[in-house]
Structure 1
Amino acid sequence: MSQLVAIRGPARGIPKEGPPNLRDLDRDGLAAWLGAHLEGAPRHRAGQLFRWLHGRRVSDFSAMSDVPAADRARLAARASLRRLDVGAVLHARDGTRKLRLVTADGQSIESVLIPNDERGYTQCVSSQVGCALTCRFCATASLGFQRNLATWEIVDQVYQAQDLLARDGGEYAPRITNIVFMGMGEPLHNYNQVRRAIELLTDPDGAGLAARRITISSSGLVPAIERFAGDPLAKEVGLAISLNATTDAVRDEVMPINTRWNIAALLAAVRSVPPHRRRYVTFEYVLLAGVNDSDDDVRRLAALVGDIRCQINLIPFNPHPHAPYGRPSAARVRRFLDLCRAAGLRAYVRTPRGDDIGAACGQLALSGGQPSGHVSSDMSSAP
């Protein structure tokens, strides 16, 4: 039995030093801050600033050409527009890119851009520095848990990726069309910041992403899933659950969070989430050779989730040096898929993307990737 704790505490809190970062505020918060710190500013000033912050993604108040110079000077003295630094961009053979980003307090996080089958990209976004949970198949768990990310640090991952695509593609740059909170960290453990980030990313004056194209993943933080179920957000964005076992004994070992909230408690919480008319609940199931990939596992899986409007994403384990598991053979994966479908489950195999640069599911651990991946340093500032 693993000796890992179920949930780790952070090494530190979100940094509060220095002037506030205005990208951390939602519309109401921005208006309130301006009312308190920019005396005499007209009511429309908050809307102007919001568009500069989240639509044009400027990093200097001097770029806000329709804001009076005196107001720009006062804003520069009292607030920050700091952005994440881009430490490196790693390029995989399949077109996937991994952005290594550095925070103001020197912490590193990773975010992944995955080409869609059609035009556009899906971005995998991080919500914590490291992770509070201790899933044994996930490389991020080896980093420990440093802290939650601030709202601006979450949204700026998307803005940095948008800037990268714009620099590479010019006028005809592809767009980010989908966001999945499946990067570093447990998103629901950083609930308030993730929620506010989604509000900002879906604002038509910002990134303008469709809420139906955003998915939040959880490893089984039951109280937070129950909170999500009662939140209007649950009617807008998708939910993915990292299940990865069909018995408590196996899930306790693979995902120690199960020792706090077992499979029955987890599925009860999932059933409390209001059904989405356009989407299914997704169960992520990482296939570990000889651990959770048997024919009996399929039968138990069907019994566990067969009554839930869901789909199953089967993920052949992506090897890395931080986990003691192996990937099942292609034949074993195919049989597991066929048995799932025969049992009436809506099941798919997720093809590994970016595994040559350590960007595939479960591999984010600030690694440099394999020699076949191309690494480009990019320390240029955002526009």
Structure 2
Amino acid sequence: MNDGGCLFRHGQESSLTRKAESTSEGMLQNVVRSPAWTIKVEFGQPDALRNCRIQANGRVLYVCEFYLSIWSALFRRHFELESDKSTLLLNKPYDAIVQFLHCIYPTQRKVNGDNLKLLLETASDFESEGVLVKCMDYMRRGCPLSLMERLELADRYRLEPLLSELIVNFSTQPTLNLESAHYLNVSDHTKVRLLENLYRKASSSKGYSANDDAPFNEKTTNRFDLKSDLNFAALRTQGSRVFYINPYYVAAWSQLAFDTVVSMTTIESLSLAVSDDEAEAFLFAVYPPMEPCTDRNASVRLRAACSLRSPGLLCLTVDYVLNESANLNTGEKLLMLDGCKLHDVMPTCLLEVVSAHDLIDLITRPFYEALSSQAKACILDRLVFLLKRGRDAIV
């Protein structure tokens, strides 16, 4: 447990329960969507939501204490216990704080080989389970570190269930270097678990499986049904459900919520013109540990991002649809994008069709008739390009 050694207090700041003060000027004046589908947050400047000051290496950053409280148990305890909020002096490098903020804010900077160790240390110090989950996901998928290096990190930061997964994985390895520096840095307890598992060639430790997600899903399914200190406002949709949320956190992700929040004196409830399914998909997508995008939920997440006017969620979901989905075919992607009127993304989506024959085949399928005229125009533009390229190649 962190003893709060990375937090100090200096100067005066308003309380956790204060209302965000601003006119309804667009939240996106400091959160900008670029043509490359990225989000930019200017932490060096305050806005209607980010008016709490934190300082590292003499440099000031502006954040929302509600946002930090949702992502970090350490910050949550600090803001709950301190009646007079102060500019927080963080005993952490400035770059580490910025990396952490970009990882949790709608910028959603991805964990990679360059920032993994920095984020692990910062997330551990700040007791941020959500960021640790992000790090574990990266270490499972595409991480260039060796199995022993990952074991060392998982042991150091107590990353379960990843640690158990790695121990089980070692049983399939032909050799184990017991003299490597990484192995020597592993705790005695984990060494015992590892060696017992190796010599039995079958795991006595519980490995990770799909069933391990069941308690987690059961726990989180109803987490927006009850009012809490952080999720104190009732979100009412066009349907019949009521979700208890933190209005300032949701406003950081949604321009629709932001416009409502800044116009209210007190916030006990807010009504948004979205469906129950869209609200639920949005909340599970943006609240830690952030439900990942899948082929099954991509469509409703796109609708939620557009209905709630959430550039951050839109970027995440469009990136998945265009670049990460292994099973969605081009027709399914086009239907999703067309349903949300994301016609500016369609030319990028159509780049995966590289032959005129395949595109003509696409046009003859039943889904084509369900597309809007704008979507059909994008397809025909791509077809003209492919036909011209084929003709030029012959010449």
Whether TM exceeds 0.5 here: the answer is: no
Higher strand proportion (structure 1 or 2): 1
Find the structure with the greater CA-based Rg.
2
TM-score, normalised by the number of residues in structure 2? 0.24
User: Using CA pairs below 8 Å that are at least 6 residues apart, which structure has the higher relative contact order?
Assistant: 1
TM-score, normalised by the number of residues in structure 1? 0.25
